[in-house]
Amino acid sequence: MTYVIGIDSSTTATKAVLVDASGSVVGIGLSEYGYDVPRPLWSEQDPGLWWDGTVAAIRSVLATAGVAGSDVVAVGLTGQMHGLVLLDDAGKVLRPAILWNDQRTGEACDEIRRAIGPERLIAISGNDALPGFTAPKLLWVRDHEPDVWRRIAHVLLPKDYVRLCLTGEYALDKADGAGTLLFDLAARDWSGEILEALGIDPGWMPRTFEGPEITGSLTADAAAATGLRAGTPVVAGGGDQSANAVGVAAVSPGIVALSLGTSGVVFATTDAPLRDPRGQVHAFCHAVPGRWHLMTVMLSAAGSLRWFRDALAPGVGYGDLTREAEMVPAGSDGLLFLPYLTGERSPYPDPLARGAFVGLTVTHDRRHMIRAVLEGVAFGLRDGLDLMIAAGMPAPSQVRASGGGIASALWRQILADVLDSEVATVSTTEGAAFGAAILAAVGAGWYEEVVDAAEALVVVTPAASPGADRARYAMAHERYRDLYPALAPTFHRL
């Protein structure tokens, strides 16, 4: 037997997923860690945690599965996107990584728009300047930490620091590169125009690769640390969302990936680099060679239900909450919920947006509030989907869903009704790490193309289809969309 490993370096843990040639997950290793909030709105992490987590996760999965490291034929990488890792000319980390959820860079975003022009920025990169992206973090370091700025020799993203530790190579996949705001979306590589306008040295930026391309092989030191074989190839992989799309086989136009975790992501593959002229839809390269994707993000998806449980029903299980919601008809008897509990990104890039229940009466009780939360999250995801369709994406033929929220049959049905599409689940819940393993399988030569590998290794099961409540939800969604414009002035005053 031979195997591939997918490694996911997320914000809170590193996961190593061991996959055999049939696509079965034969083992999972996990190593958890934290991140730092040294000031309000800041979010930082020691890159050494990712390497330590990788070593621990790989050793754990090999031990628990009883597999020899020499039987692993390729490694794929994925992880949190947009983080800024700065190294000197010796490869030493210069400061803690600034993470995707850091919000300190508002002024730098304004500077990027002035330097390039907002329309030109979107035309080149496919995106507006947002605080979470990598480029404004670089400008922040230039303006606030000049001693660090002068010593920069290499810029990496989080998973690519792990790659450096594994292989000694400075390399980056094109999907994650597109999330830096420094990429030419159509050319699938660094934009000389953006780099020059922002005063960023092109020599700092690593060579870029397509998702299944081999970027290097394990060094002897990395092999000794992890238990894998020296010389094992490491493929480029992809950022967590593009790798997750591979992991649910959302690799062709018409198939949409929906991630319903703490945040909610709607992801659609495209054959061409589409752009939203207003920059409300993220447009990135896909981990599938020669393909791109559109993506919208809501910040509090399943996180909204977690907030409700913790604040208003402590100790009650999620299954019990959704069973209560089943007792209420679609539309929650006129109660609406805005899920902007931590601000919002799509469709409103507004960190000051706030959550709200609207329409409460004495006839409503906890059951109505739970169902309104489920429906409000679905409406927010529909907002993102509508933006993507307006940008040129075809309406989905199927939504392939993953994440903790999908465990609820009621929520799956609400999503099918609101999104007006079949909602399916897949054979593994390992998402991005499984997608990284599929990319490794292509790099190992098991398959010629990523599309072939994903379709062969991912088992899709339809879970819900639009039903009789579809029309009622369409009317409720219209009312929902009126709420943010009406309440935004109050949110900002608050």
Q: What is the pLDDT along the chain (494 residues), one digit of tens a residue?
A: 899 999 999 998 999 999 999 999 999 999 999 999 999 889 999 999 999 999 999 999 999 999 999 999 999 999 999 999 999 999 999 999 999 888 899 999 999 999 999 999 999 999 999 888 999 999 999 999 999 999 999 999 999 999 999 999 999 999 999 999 999 999 999 999 999 999 999 999 999 999 999 999 999 999 999 999 999 999 999 999 999 999 999 999 989 999 998 889 999 999 999 999 888 899 999 999 999 999 999 989 999 999 999 999 999 999 999 999 999 999 999 999 999 998 898 899 888 899 999 999 999 999 999 999 999 999 999 999 999 999 998 889 899 998 888 889 999 999 999 999 999 998 877 889 999 999 999 999 999 999 999 999 999 988 899 999 999 999 999 999 999 999 999 999 99
Which residues share a beta bridge with 288? none
Q: Do the strands 264-270 and 255-260 form a parallel or antiparallel pair, or are they unpaired?
A: antiparallel
- The set of residues, in sequence order, having a beta carbon less than 8 Å from that of 140 and lying 6+ positions away, is 98, 104, 105, 108
- Give the orientation angle of helix 134-144 with respect to helix 106-116, to 10 degrees: 110
Report CA-CA distances (Å) from 175 to 14, 62, 209, 234, 239: 20, 29, 9, 16, 6
Per-residue pLDDT, 131: 87
Query: By C-alpha distance, which of 460, 458, 482, 443 is closest to 167?
Result: 443
Per-residue pLDDT, 261: 85
Catalytic residue flag (residue 240): yes
86 touches 152 (CB < 8 A):
yes
The reported pTM is 0.91
CA gyration radius, the chain: 22
**Given its phi and psi angles, is residue 343 left (phi above 0), alpha (psi -120 to 50 degrees) or beta?**
left
Report CA-CA distances (Å) from 446 to 65, 250, 450: 21, 19, 10
83 touches 44 (CB < 8 A):
no
Query: By C-alpha distance, which of 277, 178, 168 is closest to 221?
Result: 168
The catalytic residue among 240, 276, 383, 417 is: 240
Domains and CATH numbers, the chain: 3-242 (3.30.420.40), 249-426+459-494 (3.30.420.40)
Per-residue pLDDT, 40: 85
Report CA-CA distances (Å) from 393 to 158, 255, 269, 294: 30, 11, 8, 8
Per-residue pLDDT, 250: 93
